[in-house]
Amino acid sequence: MTSSLLTDRLRWRRELAARWDQRRLDAYTTFAATLKDITTLGFRLTAELRPGSHSIPIERTVGLQDLAAANARKAKDWEALLLLADEPCVTAAREWRDAVREFERFSRAETIDAPAWQERLDRMNEARDGFYVAARRSLGVQGGSVEQFKYLPRSAP
């Protein structure tokens, strides 16, 4: 085998790996953005039920329609993530997705149980951190922890 052929083969493998890394990054960021959209809509739907909320209220019918659209995107985003992510990342994504689903269920209610709300919010934020840790590891991103949960305010709605 000539050195030229070996060099070409190695370059092709590096380029292929880079393309898959980019696709994984796109799948991870798209999935995360959709879950954040659902979370934001949950905060907006409950803004008037949470004294001191900084969320901009949304009319209930519009908010529920937007949630339905975001959930349709989430289903598509989930498929891309399943195709491209490694097992630890899928596990972490599933935990975050399930926590967001539970948070969303609470945000659809027309009353707020403050301790239960905070419990759902904490679980969702912890799961988000777990997803980012797994996604960064999957992509080989260095630089230490980016966990946010311990820095977030933890007060009842």
Please provide the average confidence, as pLDDT, over all residues in the chain. Answer: 88
Question: How many separate domains does the chain show?
Answer: 1
Average pLDDT over residues 99-114: 92
- Tokens found for residue 135: 């996604």
Backbone angles phi, psi at 111, to 5 degrees: -135, 165
- Residue 157 pLDDT > 50, yes or no? no
Q: Which residue has the tokens 């951190």?
A: 129
Confidence (pLDDT) at 154: 61
- What is the domain range of residue 59? 24-151
Residue 136 CB partners (closer than 8 Å, separation 6+): 143, 146
**Residue 21 to residue 122: CA distance in whole angstroms:** 30
67 found inside a domain: yes
Does residue 28 sit within a domain? yes
Question: Considering the domain boundaries, does residue 8 fall inside one?
Answer: no
pLDDT 10s digits, 78-94? 999 999 999 999 999 99
Is 47 part of any domain? Answer: yes
In a domain, 7, yes or no: no
The pLDDT of residue 111 is above 50: yes
In a domain? residue 4: no
Q: Residue 6 — very low, low, confident or very high, per pLDDT cuts 50/70/90?
A: low
Q: Say which residue the tokens 């934001």 belong to.
A: 40
pLDDT tens track for 14-60: 655 567 889 999 999 999 999 999 999 999 999 999 988 899 999 99
| Whether 34 contacts 74, CB under 8 Å | yes
- Quote the Cα angle for 25-76-58, to 5°: 100
146 within 8 A of 132, measured Cβ to Cβ: yes
- pTM for this predicted structure: 0.85
Q: Give the pair of three-digit tokens for residue 92.
A: 């972490």
Top pLDDT among 127 and 18 is at 127
DSSP-derived letter for residue 134 is: H
Residue position matching structure tokens 């070996």: 6
11 falls within a domain: no
